[in-house]
């Protein structure tokens, strides 16, 4: 499968680029970026070609991986689907429900495969834990906390990201938290179409960009998310747990690198393209995530 990379930022350099170059079933056709010099530098690192025109790269590919800000990603994903390319997208697929819906519609109309790279869902250990808890069922409450020091004094390559500065942890790590809770506790009522039902999503602000979100799920369970990029390094951490009649289930620590997780996401894309069977983390799931986060953002006022 010939695949192109759209994006030249830290995520493309550290995660998607190396995963694409190393994958045994893919041939990296080229790289496109909004800055020519950055595309040339990354293409040289990955031993491939830099493209000046995104549509020219799409024309030369069977699939594309996108490592761009969400509101740049969404219209490019539509163009890629219309060009017949299978899609590996980053989360969130978009920050506006209408934009996410257009991606879903384009994928459906073109009949291409899609996988959205929710890192935890493709991480060794965590993905199996999520599947096990979903099979067990019966959970009453859940929580997911993603507390990072991106803006809190940590030495993060993402601290200078304009879209993260604008949208904060709600949109950057909120998708990760939802990718853990939704498969286990069920969707949020009304998350498709016109958005979640009134009262099923509530949100409040904390220090810096910290946001607390409370959800009501279709299973009857409830959950909370605490999301922040404003934690000092000593207070940072990622955790999740579920509680029900069987006791407490705590998410295991993440194992392996994001690039390894991206390799598994690429495996999933290859399989979905080969079989035509949608993956659980496709654009339809990502559209629901966008709808929930948009409702939380609206509730913040």
Q: What is the CATH number of the domain that holds 268?
A: 3.40.50.720
Structure tokens at 289: 């995530």
- Domain with 130, as residue range(s), is 121-253+288-300
* 2: three-class secondary structure by DSSP: strand
Same structural domain for residues 140 and 67?
no
DSSP string, 49-106: EEES-HHHHHHT-SEEEE-S-HHHHHHHHHHHHHTT-EEEEESSS-SSHHHHHHHHHH
pLDDT for residue 198: 80
**Both 59 and 183 in a single domain?**
no
pLDDT in tens, 217-272: 999 999 999 999 999 999 999 999 999 998 999 999 888 899 999 999 999 999 99
Residues 164 and 212 grouped into a single domain:
yes
**In terms of domains, do 100 and 204 share one?**
no
Same domain, 128 and 161: yes
Same domain, 159 and 294: yes
Beta-sheet strands, E only, within 198-268: 201-205, 211-216, 222-228, 237-244, 247-250
Tell me, yes or no, whether 128 and 114 share the same domain: no
Regarding whether 87 and 34 lie in a shared domain, the answer is yes
Q: What is the pTM of this model?
A: 0.95
**Mean pLDDT, the chain, integer:** 95
> Same domain, yes or no, for 58 and 133?
no
pLDDT of residue 193: 59
CA distance 290 to 287: 5
Q: Supply the pLDDT for residue 160.
A: 86
pLDDT of 104 over the 70 cut: yes
| CA separation for the pair 181, 241 (Å, rounded) | 9
Same domain, 14 and 151: no
Domain co-membership, 223 together with 275:
no
The model's pLDDT over 140-199, given as tens digits with 9 standing for 90+, comes to 999 999 999 999 887 888 888 999 999 999 999 999 999 999 999 999 988 565 678 888
How large is the average pLDDT for residues 106-121? 97
Distance CA 208, CA 162 (A): 16
Residues 20 and 136 in one domain: no
- The count of domains in the chain is 2
Task: Identify which of 66, 58, 104, 101 has the alpha carbon closest to the alpha carbon of residue 83.
Answer: 58
What CATH number should be reported for the domain holding residue 148? 3.30.360.10
């Amino acid at each position: 499968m010939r695949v192109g990379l759209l994006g030249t930022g830290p995520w493309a350099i550290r995660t998607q680029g190396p995963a694409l170059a190393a994958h045994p079933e893919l041939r990296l056709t080229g790289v496109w970026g909004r800055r020519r010099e950055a595309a040339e530098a990354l293409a040289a690192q990955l031993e491939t070609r830099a493209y000046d025109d995104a549509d020219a790269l799409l024309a030369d590919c069977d699939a594309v991986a996108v490592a761009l800000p969400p509101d740049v990603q969404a219209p490019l994903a539509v163009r890629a689907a219309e060009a017949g390319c299978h899609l590996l997208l980053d989360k969130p697929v978009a920050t506006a429900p209408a934009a996410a819906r257009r991606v879903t519609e384009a994928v459906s109309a073109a009949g291409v495969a899609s996988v959205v790279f929710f890192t935890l869902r493709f991480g060794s250990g965590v993905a199996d834990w999520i599947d096990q808890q979903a099979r067990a069922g019966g959970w009453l409450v859940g929580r997911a906390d993603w507390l990072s020091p991106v803006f809190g004094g940590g030495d993060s390559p993402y601290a200078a990201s304009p879209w993260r500065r604008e949208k904060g942890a709600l949109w950057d790590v909120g998708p990760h938290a939802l990718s853990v809770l939704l498969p286990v506790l069920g969707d949020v009522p009304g998350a498709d179409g016109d958005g979640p039902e009134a009262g099923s999503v509530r949100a409040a602000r904390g220090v810096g960009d910290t946001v607390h979100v409370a959800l009501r799920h279709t299973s009857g369970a409830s959950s909370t998310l605490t999301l922040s990029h404003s934690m000092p390094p000593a207070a940072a951490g990622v955790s999740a747990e579920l509680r029900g009649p069987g006791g407490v289930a705590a998410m295991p620590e993440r194992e392996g690198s994001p690039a390894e997780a991206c390799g598994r996401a690429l495996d999933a894309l290859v399989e979905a393209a080969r079989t035509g069977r949608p993956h659980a983390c496709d654009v339809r799931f990502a559209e629901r995530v966008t709808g929930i986060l948009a409702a939380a953002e609206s509730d913040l006022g």
